[in-house]
Chains A and B, each alone.
Chain A
């Protein structure tokens, strides 16, 4: 079985933010630039195999992401600086945005655009993904160790046991909680959760493409840097979200390094 990879907006954006002017001793890049760009460079080398995929909605979101960052930064500067040269500010951000948009465009060229989607099917999948995230949110809320400890202590069993047994039970609840739980909780609450729902389309389209390519014995995975898709951390890794997505939709959600590893392995497999 060979693989294809849908590249999420964040991967494409982080691979587009880079400027290295050696003569000026200036190096600016996104925190995830190296990991995202390595993947795109590999896909570029094997462009004829059309491993990397994107959709119109991904492209639209990526462009909006740059536009919104410009507006936000201009607003930030406006609120801080009393004497503001608006002309200069406009000139600066026109240059920054243009350089990022050109790099973004070059990154899209490496990938294959998937245009054909059945609207009805995408609509249904979107609903399923939305429902899935609400269920996930409530599961994550229920995982909160402090709430679980309070509930336990209020329960009949909790009131009955005392001393060491009580202490052990409380520690067990804490130990059962996934690593980096609070990062996950933060991601699935308040504004962060609302923002995240904007990415529902990416997963819905990936599921659609997975179904489409399954007939050709090709596995489609989603490559992202966002924790509502991929695992958190490197050492004490929290795979709760990607595991749940895999269980529910049979989609592998990986970060660019993991994705690159799998693509390389599959490529070797195909060569053999």
Chain B
């Protein structure tokens, strides 16, 4: 299932002014294709040099996941509001999809990923930082987060 096909389905829903739950299946198929790309990517060499691509791919997967969750668990008056919201932020998904589909591992894509995140947060379509951090185990989180904070670096002189 390609992203442009899914876009077409959202457009139809916009015209009918109603969410068609069949879209969940299409989104899940698209997610499966992203996971296939992820598997292929994770088997490639020098992974750490291609962090930006991985970051973009995971952002796209999280965005699709959150979208499926919202369609399945609508908030009051969400039908068809979710369709309008999705169509507003569609360009960022499409932009990311172009890079992911062509497996452009070396493409600078961190900013594109942050755009997806920013757009999806705006419309309550992205998980919270707490939910995301809970995916990690405590020991690994503490050690690596502290190292990361030390590299953000700032001077602190309380003299």
Q: Which residues of A contact B (CB under 8 A)?
A: 10, 13-14, 17, 19, 21, 24-26, 28-32, 60, 63, 65-67, 69-78, 86-90, 92-103, 105-106, 179-180, 183, 187, 225-227, 232-236
Min CB distance B33 to A, Å, is 19
Whether B155 and A183, one on each chain, are in contact in the complex, defined by CB atoms closer than 8 angstroms, is yes
Question: Are the CB atoms of B126 and A28 closer together than 8 Å?
Answer: no
Whether A93 touches B138, Cβ cut-off 8 Å, given contacts A28-B145, A32-B154, is no
B69 to chain A, nearest CB (A): 16
- Chain B residues near A (Cβ < 8 Å): 42, 47-48, 51-52, 54-55, 58-59, 62, 110-111, 114, 117-118, 121, 126, 128-130, 132-136, 138, 140-142, 144-149, 151-159
The answer to whether A19 touches B141 (Cβ under 8 A) is yes
Q: Number of contacts between A and B (CB, 8 Å)?
A: 141
Q: Smallest CB–CB gap between A81 and chain B, Å?
A: 11
Partner of A63, one of B110, B129, B157: B110
For the residues of A in contact with B, the DSSP-based class is helix
Some 25 contacts from A to B, beta carbons below 8 A apart, are A10-B154, A19-B129, A19-B133, A21-B133, A74-B51, A78-B48, A86-B48, A90-B42, A92-B141, A94-B51, A94-B54, A96-B133, A96-B148, A98-B59, A99-B132, A99-B133, A100-B129, A101-B117, A102-B117, A102-B128, A105-B118, A105-B121, A233-B158, A233-B159, A235-B159
The residue in chain B whose Cβ has the minimal distance to the Cβ of A236 is: B159
- Chain B contact residues: over half helix, strand or loop, or mixed? helix
Q: Assess whether A180 is in contact with B159, with CB atoms less than 8 Å apart.
A: yes
- A94 partner residues in chain B, CB cutoff 8 A: 51, 54-55, 58
Compute how far the CA of A55 lies from the CA of B144 in the bound complex, rounded to whole angstroms. Answer: 31
